[in-house]
Structure 1
């Protein structure tokens, strides 16, 4: 099977020979949404940085659309879009200019840029803010800009880290609707979030990280079987059982 994202025997971290994550193995198929969950310090951010190509694996590899970052960094990074936990914007650029810069980076044609930017601005109630500068925006609005930049393009993979922080109800609903829309068109998603009830509703499978290793992975049913839980156990209950069981 051809996977959008492959993480194979991945070990790595910030200091060579001192891995933060160890022997991670998981994959995401086209049109699949996978939730990456774990306690603070479990290795989620380190895993994401390896997927983004910001950290080099100490062992194993990461492939997006069959390509490693070391093979062709430009093509590799053009295969995904990323929404970080904390908004990172250029204070001297307007929101429209941020969007145009993303369009240029991904080679998006002008006509598609205009139509997609207008649609996203309307969806996130940001039309009146397109020519504003970031310093005039609330944290939630800044997060909407990051989301709009990611969804302006249509790559095979979206990597989304705690996307709901600071968003108003309209922003959350707009983001979830966009995710479902792109998923139905074949895009893959890796989502890291502590809001497990939302992940339970939208994700197909889950990867549970604990102390830098995969403690469990699979569908909700497979996690229930792994944890020895009943058929009504929620993802929140399963996560607690799995992490508590691996705490010693």
Structure 2
């Protein structure tokens, strides 16, 4: 089991956004984290990657908490944020070298993997470019390359399709499937439910900082008694019921 969240309570300042949230993401599993704005998706992710400290509960990756071993815990995670975060003074090549150093990776082996990803996302001829030269979609592709060239076991992707062209979306989903087949885990937060419905093994439906439902599409259909529904239908019904 890669990621285990047990009774997680937390948020910002004195505001408790998450209230005893619990779910798991197992090895070789792609999980869709679904919720309206303010449901707790980004707050959950920030707790997992260590930007926020839980008030209660546990977050474990392969049985290890952040407090037990900060360096090894973080090496197990690769994160693609919703808004690309790049260093304006570094070229694309330097971003890749920085990632290699941060994760303490083998230089030559990692560059082989990076070059394959750069070619896939049509960035291989832009190694000397600075972030100011990139469009938002290209910046997102840089973040994706830097995440998926690592040896992380858990990939966390927040709204990954924002700004990507259809070909890049397909390329990303192919890489997610490749990592899944290699036994890695992927937690994907997105509002584009039709896409994630076809590529995730199960779904975590969040509302008001709590897990409202957790399961495969068939399990969610049974839970909400909507046998012919898609993920959009189920989520809309859940939101209307809770509100």
- Given the two structures, how large is their TM-score scaled by the length of structure 1? 0.96
Q: 1:116 aligns with which of 113, 116, 136?
A: 113
Task: Specify the alignment match of 2:22 in structure 1.
Answer: 25
Task: Specify the alignment match of 2:42 in structure 1.
Answer: 45
Deviations 1:160-204 (A, max 9, x none): 000110011221111110000010000001000000011110001
> Structure 1 residue runs of 4+, over 4 Å off?
none
Task: Specify the alignment match of 2:229 in structure 1.
Answer: 233
Deviations 1:86-127 (A, max 9, x none): 000001100011011111111211211221121011000111
What secondary structure does 1:81 align onto? strand
Q: 1:8 aligns with which of 6, 11, 14?
A: 6
What secondary structure does 1:128 align onto? coil
Q: 2:180 aligns with which of 178, 183, 208?
A: 183
How many residues in Structure 1 have an aligned counterpart in Structure 2?
A: 243
Within a 5 Å distance, the mapping from 1:160-171 to structure 2 comes to: 160-171=157-168
Task: Specify the alignment match of 2:207 in structure 1.
Answer: 210
- Given the two structures, how large is their TM-score scaled by the length of structure 2? 0.98
Determine the C-alpha separation between the residues in 2 that align with 1:170 and 1:99: 23
Query: Is there any run of 5+ residues in structure 2 with no aligned partner, and where?
Result: none
Task: Specify the alignment match of 1:57 in structure 2.
Answer: 54
Determine the C-alpha separation between the residues in 2 that align with 1:64 and 1:130: 33
Contact 1:4 1:65 in 2 (8 A): yes
Determine the C-alpha separation between the residues in 2 that align with 1:176 and 1:21: 29
Determine the C-alpha separation between the residues in 2 that align with 1:171 and 1:95: 18
